[in-house]
Structure formats: structure tokens, C-alpha cells
Amino acid sequence: MAPDMGSSLTAKGCMAPGRFVSAPWVFPLVGPAVREGAVLLDAEGTILAVGPRAEIRFVYPSLPEDRAEGVLLPGLLNAHTHLELSVLRGRLSGGEGLPAWAMQVGRELAGFSMEQRFDAAVRAARVARDKGTAAVGDVGNTLLAVCALAEVGLGGIFFHEMLGSRDAATGDALADAERERRMFLECEEWPANVAYMLAPHALYSAGPDLLRRIFAATAACTHPTSLHVAEDQDEVALLRDGTGHWVEILTRLQVPSGSRTPGLGPLAYLESLGAFAGRPPLLVHMVCASAEDLALARQHNAPVVLCPRSNLHIGGRLPDVPAFLAAGLGLALGTDSLGSAPDLSLWGEIATLASRFPDIAPEIWLGAATLGGAQALGLDALGSLAPGKRPGIIEVRCADDRDPARALVSDPEPAIRWLVEP
Ligand SMILES: [Zn+2]
């Protein structure tokens, strides 16, 4: 691969090269892997050039070299997690579907103080960072995770999650969320590297009026909103014909019968609610998506976030990823929370997908964990090694230097070192 350096170095002459990082392999993600590659950066970590080491070295013979022994990748993007649930690690049993899993969350969470929840969120965020995560799409009912992100210096998007129960209790979930945000800002500084977005929890847990208001409020935003979609067959059954396990739970919560049954599939329902009026939302899970759902996701260019370990824990099945690829959908990866995944490392998600779908090229998983996540979240400076980007660079040690992509996706716990912070 030829180094793409001329334009950036001559047109932006003020960007003086400050670091020269090289390794046996460089994965730019926007082009083929480079054997004996290098990355040239300015002092702030913005990339000036990527290409064969010898060619960049020829232009800058005296620049000190930071030599790595593994594979260079951009920092990863965890497009779906819930730091506020980190205290539930290992506490929620799975295998019986989403309604049974979800009923445990509130019950278990009530046993912990806010301090315990915060400490667990900070620990989880540190693990994510140490495993190479540059940014997250974090979902929270409270703003607790924003402080955890700030504590660790992890950026991304905070999705303030709205449920129908909040709307029912306060009369206006969006106004209540804004009150919560203002109260937070009176005591804390909002981290500059974290964007704020409203987000519905799911189509079964929020009524159509609240969903419409959230999509209307977020339509003009730079970043997308996000929601759990087609995670479980009970959701699809409720939406289509008012059956499944959610019916009894919603009745207990005094949700009017039929108000969550539009008689449509999840994506057709989203379309009817104005979900695609602006930047398309992140479609998290899509385990039970139909061909109609995939066609609508493609039509609206909506990315899918895969959280395979969570899906296996809760419902014992994975989404039809080959069908997603055949439909041309953009893919990102998420860990979901520690209530359904053992840690917040994307390498566990990558290794799970690679072993369950051995016919899919490893580059697909590496792309979903980096560039796919950046595109889905609208974090354009991240996710690839290319001039003008500032993605952070990690070195990942890999067991097989001859086929590094395959080796990378086969190791759920590779050794990782941050070479350049994002
Ligand atoms: Zn989730």
C-alpha cells in the first residue's frame, strides 16, 4: 500500500511530524493490511501518513522510531454497553429469554448503593480501556456512568435511556431527563469527549407517543440515537399480535393493553414512528430480525450492533450475521452490560463471532470493532488509521505473524498496549 502522505504533509504544513510508530503489521481498516508498516503522527496524535515503513522512513530519516512487535490497530469502539449495570457482573442467570433476565435487573440492582455502582462502573470502564477501547456508546437510565467515563478518560456517546415507566411517573420523560441533566451540570462538569443523546430503551418498554417524541427530538442531531431491537422473540410476538411473555409483565405495570402492539414487525414499526427522519438509530441486537426488517434497515442505512455474548447468555442464540452481510448492513460491536457479558472487552465478542461464523472473513469482525463502530456512532475521527484521523493506536500481540487477521480474531484475551492515546 502506498503511503498517503503527500497531500496531508504539504497541504497542512503546520502539522509537524512528532511520532513515527512502526510494526511488523499495520491494519489501517480503510485499506489492506501493510506488512512492515508505519504510522506518522503529529504531537497531538493526529495521523499524517500510513504506509510501508521504508517509504515513510525515506522521507523522515532522522525521526526517532517507536518500534512495536505486534499488530497496530486503531482504538476499538464498543458501540453498546451499560456501565451503570456493572455491579451486576455474574449475578443474573440467563438462558430463559429476555423477559426472565430483565426481571432480575431491578431486583438485584436495588441491593447496591450508588457508591458501589459507581465503583463497579469505573472498574469496568478501566477494563474496557485497557483492552483497547477508544470510545463507547454507553446507555444509562441515570447519569452515573458519565462520571465513570470522566474518571477513566473514556469518550464516546452517552445515551440517556428513556422507558415508558419514566413517562408515566413524571408525565414527560424528556422534560424529566432534561431536569436530571441540568441538576448534574450544577454539580459536575460534563466531559468534553462525551456527547449526550436521548435514546429509547426498546419498542416494548416505551409507548408510541414517547418513542415518537424521542425520534423527533433527536432527528436533527449529529450523532445517532440507539435502541434494543428484535432482541428476543417475545418482543416480536408482542409487536405483531400481542402475545408472548411481555404481555403479563406490561399488564402488571398497568400499561394499557394493545398500546405496544402496532401489528407490525420491529423495523416497520420504527419507520412508522419517524425513527428514520434523521440519522438512522443504532439497531442493537436484531437477533430475531426478519427478512422484512433487514430490507428496511438497508433501505434506511441503519447499522446493526452485535452483542453476541450477551445474546448467548440471555437467549442462547445469535443473530443471522451472514444474512446481515448479504443485505449489505453496516456492522458494529458491543459488549452489552456486565449483567449479561463477563467483561467489557470487545476481543471476547470478536472471538465468539469468529468461532461461531468460521466462514466469515476475520477482517469483517476487525472492521466492525473499529471503523464500523465509528461510522455507526458518528465519531468520524476514530476507527481507522488514515491521514487526518485521531483514533488512538493500540499494539496487539498475535500468535501467528503469517495470518495476523485470523490470529487476532481467534484470541479472546490478547496482550494489548496503547501506543498513542485517542
Ligand atoms: Zn443493552
- Cα 183 to middle of ligand 1, angstroms: 25
* Domains in the chain: ranges and CATH: 6-74+384-420 (2.30.40.10), 76-377 (3.20.20.140)
Alpha-helical runs (H) found in 303-371:
308-315, 321-327, 346-356, 362-367
Mean pLDDT of the chain: 95
CA of 413 to the centre of ligand 1 (A): 23
Q: How far apart are CA 340 and CA 309, in angstroms?
A: 7
Ligand 1 ion local residues (Cβ < 5 A):
336
Q: Express each pLDDT in 6-63 by its tens digit.
A: 333 333 444 688 899 999 999 999 999 999 999 999 999 999 999 999 999 999 999 9
Query: Rounded distance, CA 303 to CA 373, Å?
Result: 9
CA of 81 to the centre of ligand 1 (A): 6
CA angle 218/338/367 to nearest 5° reads: 65
Give 184-210 pLDDT, tens digit per residue: 999 999 999 999 999 999 999 999 999
Residue 130: predicted pLDDT: 97
What mean pLDDT do residues 80-95 have? 96
Beta strand segments in 187-238, E: 194-200, 226-229
Condensed to tens digits (0 to 9), the pLDDT of residues 325-341 reads 999 999 999 999 999 99
Q: What span, in angstroms and rounded, lies between the C-alpha atoms of 68 and 214?
A: 46
Q: Locate cell 437510565: which residue? A: 141
Q: What are phi and psi for residue 76, nearest 5 degrees?
A: -85, 160
Distance 74 CA to ligand 1 centre (A): 24
Cα 162 to middle of ligand 1, angstroms: 13
Q: What is the pLDDT of residue 16?
A: 84
Positive or negative: CA dihedral 21, 22, 27, 31: positive
- Cα of 65 vs centre of ligand 1, distance in Å, is 42
- Decide if pLDDT at 271 tops 80: yes
* Contact (CB, 8 A) for 71 and 26: yes
Cα(80) to ligand 1 centroid in Å equals: 6
